Structures are given as C-alpha cells and as structure tokens.
Amino acid sequence: MNKPIVEVGTVGLVDDLSGTIPSKPKLGDKLLEGKQEKVGVVGLFDDPHALVKAAEKVRDAGWKQWDCHTPFPVHGLDAAMGLGWSKLPTIALSLGFTGAALALLMQYWMSAVSYPVHIGGKPLFSWPAFVPITFEMFVLFTAAGTVLTGLWMCKLGRWHSPLHDSGVMAEVSSSRFALVLSAKDELWSDGARSLLDEAGCTDVRDLFEDVDDGRIL
C-alpha cells in the first residue's frame, strides 16, 4: 500500500518525539541514528475494561491489521478482537502423537527386528513394557511442539517492535493497555486516530518504527 513515511530526523530520544532535545543523553538511552517511519497509531488506556470496549469498536469497523498490547492476558479481549480459538494445541498434540508413534516403532524395531533376543519363548514385541517410554515421548514431543509452535504463532524471536521504537513498551509492560492500528490496513487513513478518540482514548500517539539500522534490539 501507500505507506506514509515521516522522517523524524537524526537527533532526539526515542522516548521523546515531541521535538525538545534533552541536554545530554544518558547511558542506556537509545539515540535515533537513522530514520523512523510512521507505521500506525497507538492508543493507551489505563483500564482494561475501556480497552475491551475500544477493541469491539475497531473489530466492528472491519479492521484487520491491528492489535492490542497488554501487561497480562485480559479476559474477554479475544472475543472483543474477534480472535478464534488458537490452533496451537491441535498442532502440538499432533506432534505429540507422532512422537508416541515413533517411540513405539523404535522400541518394536530395536527389540523385535534389529536385535531380537529370545528369552524362554517370551514375545519379542512385549508392548506393555513399552508403554512408559511411549508415554514419555508423547509428553516430550507435545512439550517441544508447544514451544516451537508457540514461538512461531506468537511471532517470537523477532526482537524488534514499533512499540519499543516509539517508547511506549515500558508503560505497556507495567500497567497500561495499548491498542495499535497499523498503517498496513486497508482502512488506514490519516483520520484513523479519530476512531481511538471516539472509543474514549485520551492518550493517542503516532507509532514509529526505526528504519532498519542493523541492530537486533
């Protein structure tokens, strides 16, 4: 789409986009070395209840590229955002059952095919004795599957976020609730922030993202 690019400049602190330049940068402050582009707007709420109400409005307006950011999972927000049930357990459990099948197959092959040991005519494929390891492998594969699927579905391992670049993440981690409207959405226009104003948000800010500066954090 036609992404609006706003060049903020080469000086200034991330936490301070209003234009005033603090006298001396402190250790730990991140200087804007390159350019930032505007990628959306963010509305900050103090009350999770208000966020849920606003999310319903955005959902009903037909937005697709938007998200809420909260310090803890807020009850009812999934429904308010129109999110369905996560498919994660289905994928993780399928991996788990695959692990169980592989474990049983491994024990069968090693005990009955590769190196059969005949002891008093006892069965080579004595499956009840193979249950514990089959079960443990089911659990191990499900757990590993949950983590890997989770990393992928939660889009983790992507250390860079516009919330950091715009300096709102610290507030969100602690106690505030953010609603982000992305400029990538088809409904995006310069008036998008009025949607948040209408939803009762008193703290609406532009959201910026660093143009790739080669850092991972």
Q: What residues between 119 and 158 interact with another protein by CB under 8 A?
A: 126, 129-130, 132-133, 135-137, 139-140, 142-144, 146-147, 149-151, 153-158
- Residue 188 CB burial class (10 angstroms; 0-12, 13-18, ≥19): buried
The residues, any chain, with a CB within 8 Å of residue 167's CB and separated by 6 or more, are 13, 14, 15, 16, 17
Instruction: Pick the binder of another protein from 5, 6, 31, 79 (CB under 8 A).
Output: 79
DSSP letters, 166-216, are TT-HHHHHHT-EEEEEETTSTT--TTHHHHHHHTT-SEEEEEEEE---S--
Residue among 68 and 201 whose Cβ is closer to another protein: 68
Subset of 27-56 contacting another protein (CB under 8 A) = 27-28, 47-49, 52-53
Among 17, 78, 94, 98, which residue interacts with another protein (rule: CB under 8 A)?
78
In the complex with another protein, which residue's Cβ is closer, 17 or 144? Answer: 144
List the helix and strand counts (H, then E) for the chain. Answer: 7, 4
Among 163, 180, 214, 186, residue whose Cα is nearest residue 3: 186
Helix (H, G, I), strand (E, B) or coil at 192: helix
Shorter beta-carbon distance to another protein: residue 21 or 147? 147
Question: Of 15, 39, 47, 36, which is closest to residue 192 (Cα–Cα)?
Answer: 39
Strand pairing class (36-45; 203-210): antiparallel
Q: Does 88 bind another protein (CB under 8 A)?
A: yes
* Least distance between another protein and beta carbon 46 (Å): 10
Distance of closest approach, residue 196 Cβ to another protein, in angstroms: 16
Q: Which stretch binds another protein (CB under 8 A): 2-10, 13-21, 65-73, 199-207?
A: 65-73
| Residue of 36, 107, 166, 182 that binds another protein (CB under 8 A) | 107
Residue 75 DSSP one-character state: T
Question: Smallest distance from the beta carbon of 86 to another protein, in angstroms?
Answer: 4
Query: x/- site string to another protein, residues 152 to 191, per CB under 8 A?
Result: -xxxxxxxxx-xx----xx-xxxx--x-------------
Can you tell me which of 8, 32, 58, 81 binds another protein, judged by CB under 8 A?
A: 81
Interatomic CA distance for residues 70 and 179, integer angstroms: 9
